[in-house]
Amino acid sequence: MAQMNLLHAINSALDHAMEKDERVMCFGEDVGHFGGVFRATSGLQEKYGKARCFNTPLVEQGILGFANGLAAQGSVPICEIQFADYIFPAFDQIVNETAKFRYRSGNEFNVGSLVIRTPYGGGIAGGLYHSQSPEAYFTGTPGIKVVVPRNPYQAKGLLTACINDKDPVIFFEPKRLYRASVGEVPEESYEIELGKAEVVTEGKDVTLLGWGAQMEIIEQAAQMAGEQGISCEVIDLRTLAPWDVDTVAKSVTKTGRLIISHEAPITGGFAGEISATISDVCFLHLESPIARVCGLDTPYPLMQEKEYVADKLKIFEAIKASVNF
Amino acid sequence: MNRPDSKVVNAIHQASFIRGDALEIPTLQVLDAQGDVIDGAQMPDIDEALAHKIYDTLAFIRVFDERMVASQRQGRISFYMTCKGEEAAITGSAAALSDDDMIMAQYREQAALRFRGFSTPNFMNQLFSNAKDLGKGRQMPIHYGSNELNYMTISSPLATQIPQAAGYAYGQKMAGKDALTICYFGEGAASEGDFHAGLNMAAVLKCPTVFFCRNNGYAISTGTDEQYAGDGIAPRGVGYGIETIRVDGNDLLAVLLATQTARAYALEHNKPVLIEAMSYRLGAHSTSDDPSGYRSKEEEELWAQIDGVLRFKTWMINQGWWDEDKDAALYEKYRTEVLSELKISEKIGAPALEELVTDVYHDVPKHLQDQLTELKSHIAKYPDAYPSAKGESH
Ligand SMILES: Cc1ncc(C[n+]2csc(CCOP(=O)(O)OP(=O)(O)O)c2C)c(N)n1
């Protein structure tokens, strides 16, 4: 085991993958010698050469189109979109091409080896174009998997699983935690199974569900509730598409209550999808309405960020409202 | 129109390529590296008053950039991007425009905004995201905009302004205005799909748009050798059927001449023009960047020697319009002004909480009103936890 921050853990996963398989390539804007604006690909070009770790011209549409072609050919492209806010120029290539390659060709062709890495989320004083959480645009598209790690250990294990997976995956990295989140990470390669949620803390009164950077905030709220004698079960969804309905349903069946929290705006956010499914599956076990604590339905602001976000106090209030319903 | 029965023009009967780098676009220069007018060079339309206004902008921006980087280092503002190295390209092109021309910038063109008359407090209030920021404190520092000054508010996603500039210019033409749109972008942004879409739209739809590419050598850490093959951005204009000119971006008079000529052409013919200004980003990409990781000090020093501000100053002195004493006094005036305005702006409070939900739509819809009401009652419960309840500015 070694102490790593989230960026080191990602770098380590990429390093193992490139070492093990020559077909693995890392590319994107500034990822070559510079190592990416956040330095996730540091040292990889020096180790594996310019042909396998390289800068691309500044065009996300091109990066994804190129990656689709590479993956269809049999390479293992791991491309970086510098900020999730800038994934939209590549939207067509992702939702119309990456996601549908296998289906539309009857599996004559597929881009299953493709991984898109991209930093997402707020809390870095980035304003509306450096803070978005666009996961729900992609969970609404069949054919791509969506994965979000919450700490360095998960980042390495989940990213490795994404690279080895037979389907294209978007791996959203919580950039607020890149350097802030530090923990024990095995030096060797390992995988965390995709499609499986993790029960972080067991509890009996209410289930709290989230992913990525929001988990830290959910855990703080759970602790506040604990001090008031409310026992929270905390679950990290980890994979959003396809998501682990069973683990969440089992928990809600036990607690009778569910609160989902994410950074993205509430309307059209992935919490809505979860709550529809869980109210269907767990209808007879619910003791209170499923609650969503999310961003407001506005672009992510620069000022008033503290007011805007789904912070621990808002979640704490939702917990109290749920148990007192 | 291509038709199968049309006569083949310039038929050849041996397979031979036109080389990818066949177009070697020449570079317009008026001043030499020392700031002396090159013999036989065409001069732009410039008189003493315009020269002074230009130099005033150059001096202000130098001081402002330097001062605001220092403020970022002191933690007073969160982020900054300088225009250092490209002042001549930006100011020289802005000086060729009429005030009615729309400016659509990328983010490094504060000198154009200053030339238009954006006040020091206006700049500062945006950087501090305070209640007086015209953009209501919603965007990161350097995302300026002013309707009054015909300067479109900056958007972070790169190149999105390029097709918009074509559309805006088409609208100006349809409205019968004697004005056009100038659109600034970097050689990095010229890789984006929006660049190609925008140029093609403007060419085909005959839009009076001046596309102004700042080729400053880098897109963050990516040098031009990893950004494009071939001879820069200019040949792309030719490829799209657009009149194109390349200019020494560190030669203010050449940029002024090129842009004046482009403006006249675009308005007379209702057509776009592409200008590629060859320059260098002397500073870091932004205050979050450290260029020592990807380029050498020597390279930076080489470019600093042909600095556009210095060359223009020399020319002004040669004209008898300027001297070193006046120069020192001007810089001192701006240092004092910037510092005192900074102290005022940083004390102005944050925008009101209500502005969290305005301008998402024309009217605040019911669901956002409800979200605000709910938020307010939540904040009332925890007044210590939220800056807005405490009346804090940040
Ligand atoms: C669509 C999009 N992709 C990526 C970014 C991140 N980014 C901001 S500035 C920049 C480099 C731009 O380089 P260039 O256009 O050459 O302008 P310069 O910074 O050199 O003035 C990048 C990649 C962005 N803002 N928008």
CA nearest to A301, candidates A132, A52, A108, A104: A132
Q: For A38-83, what is each residue's pLDDT tens digit?
A: 999 999 999 999 999 999 999 999 999 999 999 999 999 999 999 9
Q: Which residue of chain B has the CA closest to A313?
A: B382
Q: Per-residue pLDDT for B356 more than 50?
A: yes
Are A78 and A115 contacting, i.e. CB atoms less than 8 angstroms apart? yes
* Residue-level pLDDT at B6: 65
- Between CA B173 and CA B157 the distance in angstroms is 27
Binding site membership of B188 for ligand 1 (Cβ less than 6 Å): yes
Place of tokens 């590549």: A90
Q: What is the 3-state secondary structure (H, E, C) of chain B?
A: CCCCCCCCCCCCCCCCCCCCCCCCCCEECCECCCCCECCCCCCCCCCHHHHHHHHHHHHHHHHHHHHHHHHHHCCCCCCCCCCCCCHHHHHHHHCCCCCCCEEECCCCCHHHHHHCCCCHHHHHHHHCCCCCCCCCCCCCCCCCCECCCCECCCCCCCCCHHHHHHHHHHHHHHCCCCCCEEEEEECCHHHCHHHHHHHHHHHHCCCCEEEEEEECCEECCEEHHHCCCCCCCHHHHHHCCCEEEEEECCCHHHHHHHHHHHHHHHHHHCCCEEEEEECCCCCCCCCCCCHHHCCCHHHHHHHHCCCHHHHHHHHHHHCCCCCHHHHHHHHHHHHHHHHHHHHHHCCCCCCCHHHHCCCCCCCCCHHHHHHHHHHHHHHHHCHHHCHHHHCCCC
Helix (H) / strand (E) containing A321 = helix A312-323
Mean pLDDT of A93-99: 98
Residue to mutate (ligand 1; options B184, B214, B220, B228; most atoms within 8 A of CB): B220
Q: Per-residue pLDDT for B251 more than 90?
A: yes
- Between CA A165 and CA A177 the distance in angstroms is 25
Q: For A163-204, what is each residue's pLDDT tens digit?
A: 999 999 999 999 999 999 999 999 999 999 999 999 999 999
Greatest Cα pair distance, chain B, in angstroms, is 84
What's the token pair of residue A67? 């990656």
Distance B158 CA to ligand 1 centre (A): 6
Mean pLDDT of B112-129: 98
Mean pLDDT of B281-291: 97
For A307, the closest of B194, B353, B367 (CB atoms) is B353
**Residue A125 DSSP one-character state:** S
Task: Give the closest residue (by CA) to ligand 1 atom 17.
Answer: B186
CA distances from B241 to A312, B168, B203, B208, B264 (A): 57, 20, 6, 14, 18
Task: Give the closest residue (by CA) to ligand 1 atom 6.
Answer: A82
Mean pLDDT of B277-300: 97
- Between CA B363 and CA B373 the distance in angstroms is 16
Distance B102 CA to ligand 1 centre (A): 22
* Residue-level pLDDT at B393: 42
Q: Is the whole model's pTM more than 0.95, yes or no?
A: yes
- Between CA B276 and CA A196 the distance in angstroms is 52
Q: How confident is the model at residue B392 (pLDDT cuts 50, 70, 90)?
A: low
- Between CA B181 and CA B271 the distance in angstroms is 11
Q: For B157-197, what is each residue's pLDDT tens digit?
A: 999 999 999 999 999 999 999 999 999 999 999 999 999 99
Residue A142: cis peptide before it, omega within 30 degrees of 0: no
* Beta partners for residue B247, in sequence order: B28, B277
CA nearest to A150, candidates A127, A169, A176: A176
CA nearest to A115, candidates A155, A156, A161, A73: A161
A239 exposure class (CB count in 10 Å sphere: 0-12, 13-18, 19+): buried
| DSSP 3-state of A297 | coil
Q: Which residue of chain A has the CA closest to B392?
A: A304
Q: How confident is the model at residue B309 (pLDDT cuts 50, 70, 90)?
A: very high
Binding site membership of A80 for ligand 1 (Cβ less than 6 Å): no
Q: How confident is the model at residue B355 (pLDDT cuts 50, 70, 90)?
A: very high
Are A123 and A212 contacting, i.e. CB atoms less than 8 angstroms apart? no
Sequence-separated (6 or more) residues with CB below 8 Å from residue B174: none
Atom of ligand 1 at shortest range from CA of B185: 15
CA distances from A124 to A85, A131, B149, B284 (A): 14, 7, 31, 20
- How, if at all, do strands B218-219 and A53-55 pair? unpaired
Interface predicted TM-score (ipTM) of this complex, two decimals:
0.96
Q: How confident is the model at residue B389 (pLDDT cuts 50, 70, 90)?
A: confident
* Residue-level pLDDT at B21: 86
**Residue A291 DSSP one-character state:** E
Distance A237 CA to ligand 1 centre (A): 33
CB within 8 Å: A58 and B158:
yes
Q: How confident is the model at residue B10 (pLDDT cuts 50, 70, 90)?
A: confident
Task: Give the closest residue (by CA) to ligand 1 atom 7.
Answer: B158
For B367, the closest of A89, A126, A297 (CB atoms) is A297
CA nearest to A102, candidates A52, A183, A166: A166
CB within 8 Å: B191 and A55:
no
Sequence-separated (6 or more) residues with CB below 8 Å from residue A289: A322, A325
* Residue-level pLDDT at B388: 84
Q: For A199-249, what is each residue's pLDDT tens digit?
A: 999 999 999 999 999 999 999 999 999 999 999 999 999 999 999 999 999
Residue type, B116: R
Mean pLDDT (chain B) is 96
CB within 8 Å: A55 and B222:
yes
* A215: Cα within 13 Å, side-chain hemisphere: 22
Alpha carbon of A52: minimum distance to chain B alpha carbons (Å): 14
CA distances from B243 to B166, B169, B358 (A): 15, 16, 43
Alpha carbon of B269: minimum distance to chain A alpha carbons (Å): 32
Q: Which residue of chain B has the CA closest to A36?
A: B221
- Between CA A311 and CA B158 the distance in angstroms is 31
Q: For A251-266, what is each residue's pLDDT tens digit?
A: 999 999 999 999 999 9
For A127, the closest of B140, B193, B371 (CB atoms) is B140
- Between CA B388 and CA B394 the distance in angstroms is 9
- Between CA B278 and CA A162 the distance in angstroms is 43
Binding site membership of B236 for ligand 1 (Cβ less than 6 Å): no
Alpha carbon of A184: minimum distance to chain B alpha carbons (Å): 28
CA nearest to B376, candidates B348, B357, B360: B357
- Between CA A40 and CA B16 the distance in angstroms is 45
Interface of A with B (CB under 8 A): 29-30, 32-34, 37, 54-55, 57-62, 85-86, 88-89, 125-130, 267, 296-299, 301-304, 306-308, 311, 313-314, 317
Residue type, B235: P
Q: For A120-161, what is each residue's pLDDT tens digit?
A: 999 999 999 999 999 999 999 999 999 999 999 999 999 999
Q: Per-residue pLDDT for B56 more than 50?
A: yes
Alpha carbon of B284: minimum distance to chain A alpha carbons (Å): 13
Atom of ligand 1 at shortest range from CA of B86: 21
Written as one string, the DSSP assignment of A40-105 is TTTTHHHHH-TTTEEE--S-HHHHHHHHHHHHHHT-EEEEE-SSGGG-GGGHIIIIIIITTHHHHT
CA distances from A222 to A156, A263, B74 (A): 26, 17, 37
What are the b/e assignments for A22-42, b being 16+ CB within 10 Å? ebbbbbbbbbbbbbbbbbbbb
Greatest Cα pair distance, chain A, in angstroms, is 60
Geometric angle at alpha carbon B279, from B277 and B281, rounded to 5°: 130
* Beta partners for residue B110, in sequence order: none
- Between CA A13 and CA A188 the distance in angstroms is 9
- Between CA A262 and CA A209 the distance in angstroms is 9
Q: Per-residue pLDDT for B394 more than 60?
A: no
